Structure 1
Amino acid sequence: MSLISLITDLFRNLSQQRLRSFLTIFGIMWGTATLILLLAFGTGFRDQTILNMRGMGDQIAIMFPGQTTVAYEGYGIGRPVRFRETDVQLLRDQIADIDVATPEYRESMEISYGTKRRNSSVGGVYPVYQDLRNMFEKAGGRWLNEADVKQRRRVIFLGNRLTENLFEEEDPVGKQVTVSGTPFTVIGVLQEKIQNSSYSQQDRDRAFIPASTYSAMMGTDRLSNILYTPADPGKAETVRDQVYEVMGRKHRFDPSDRDAIGIWDTNEFWSFINVMFLGINGFLVLIGFFTLAVGGIGVANIMFVVVQERMKEIGIRRSVGARRHHIMGQFFLETFMIVGIGAAAGYAVGWLLVEATQDLPIKDFVGSPYFAPEVGLIAFAVLGFVGFAAGLLPAWRASRLDIVECLRR
């Protein structure tokens, strides 16, 4: 039987039972649209979570000084550990798996411009800090550079919301602000970024000056924290253990004493997020699968009816030489055509629903759903399985019918 004949017979059978056919195809359509919408939301949520985390930096670790809780080599507990810039160089020299390490000074200070004043966390940092923390400047300004550090320049980089509070609509670049009474020239403003976590203030409310300027201004070489990135994120845990060993030897504390130094390793989050969203998307696929399975039951039901109504045709085809696999193939093809019609409509409806939800006021929390290629592929795979399962029993039954009984119909 030709493909055109199969299609003609299919639509003739569907038209004979319009309501039943519509409900069956609608079930596949709605199941497909639901699966696509669920997966699109899952993908959008994953990407938004990653984007939020990137506001902190890409796979960085942040070290904070603590105090000992384990006696070690004659030293008692409760002894504070303090960081200095020599510790940063020590980590670079002794841990080959560390790619970048940089110090950070930090203190809350009053920043003023004219009559406007704001208390802000001011960081003393090196130029490489920009790459670690994704600190990108707006057009017309710049980030700190090596000359600023070497010459201890009084220059300052402002967070975007801090800039709005101090300057409102005025262009701040080139203007002077005072930081705890000391004048600084504004060289740049932070480009707006999404950030859902921080360890002092969000970067939009902070200010940054050269580390050398901070140290001279405050008269201290004591660091607030140290940032580093492993050369291979897969070795983050090994690097962390090496950090405790190196710093333990330097500051005389037990490397197993995790309270002596606090380390916030965002690499742990990246590992967790992969597992978490694998589970979330798996759960969403399962929900969509069961929704599609209901539609698949409808398809199987209509195919059983079609087999019953076409028993004489089956008998004639078998009597003139059609093999069982020919009959199975015919009904499998018709099943997939029904599923295909519903799936095509479901893809269209799903895409429209995804587009319609773009402007919902939830983007900052769960992101915007979008129709990614993997969403379409997963939906196609689930539809293929549902179509196979829906067509198997009807096709099998049709191929096993007795020829004589069919011809008697």
Structure 2
Amino acid sequence: MNMTKLKEEVIEYSKTIGIDKIGFTTAAPFTELKNRLLQQQMLEYQSGFEEPDIEKRVDPAKIFAGPQSIIAIALAYPSKLKNAPQSKKGERRGIFCRASWGMDYHVILRNRLTKLEQFIASKVPHARFKSMVDTGELSDRAVAERAGIGWSGKNCSIITPEFGSYVYLGEMITNIPFEPDTPIEDRCGTCNKCIHACPTGALVQGGQLNAQRCIAYLTQTKGFLADEFRTKIGNRLYGCDTCQTVCPENKGRDFQFHEEMKPDPEVVKPLLKPILTISNREFKEKFGKLSGSWRGKKPIQRNAILALAHFKDETAIPDLIKLLNDDPRPVIKGTAAWALGKIGGKEAKEALIKVKSKEKNNEVLTEINKGLSFFE
């Protein structure tokens, strides 16, 4: 079989199904990555959402019999919200990060990878594949970097010359020996804008992230947010784009190539107060198709409470008092108590004093006391 011709055909076909960039690399182990992952593990910088077995993350042969090469794909996503509603007094809004606009990207990329598998299988009947997006064992970034999709930026994103870092990544291990592409040279140079701009100092140094401090990770946690991060989250409901928006490589980049990625402004920049009392069904109907809904409504509700505190939105005080009195979940109840103290005012203080005498949960009591401490 003419492998050069097959590779050309795969590249041509990929363009017809909405793959914006495609690259090929070997299935050799990612030895450099292994050392980095071991260091991250030792420093406790991991988020906990990753595949725990480092061997599987760095060696394609551990998860696929007889791997010969890996195909990496990238799809560019929008970065500008058209007709964005204004966040104003009494009608404050939160924001989902750009990677959670439109339809869940896992669904979009799996669709493209499935079509690519079917095309290759029609050309090579004995072809086998294992495709993955984000939640697979391999590191999407390591594969994309080695396949020449882009370089690994200091902000820990793959940066492509064409689309900046506003790309979703996916990959496919196969038993077909495609000719590998050449990696792209790093263009970050002496620029450290992302490192300086990170709100929590999660970017320890260029290319090293302490995921435990990263707002994108913190917005997805389900428990109480540590005090030091509560005032850093701003109005973010899910994810964080700061290290991307300050990147010079992303300046003026906005790609509206894919219909299913186009955001609904009312969904990705929603009013905060209605989120506080949203039912499971309403949450699923409104936010269910976003990748940012995967952890359910509780983290989004907690983040909405923190956003209202960030805005010092006095019109939210009755809603927060209702949560403090009626919500059965300690995290929501306690965060509401903290937020009432942060917003301040006579009504908030009286509500905290009143509920303190009856509250039995120690975690909630701690938060009530934190709320009351704002009045001292």
* Structure number with higher helix proportion: 1
TM over 0.5: no
Q: Per the shorter chain, which TM-score range?
A: under 0.3
* Structure number with higher strand proportion: 1
Q: Structure 2 length as normaliser, TM-score?
A: 0.23
Q: Structure 1 length as normaliser, TM-score?
A: 0.21
- Which protein has greater RCO, CA pairs closer than 8 Å, 6+ apart? 1
Greater Rg by CA: 1
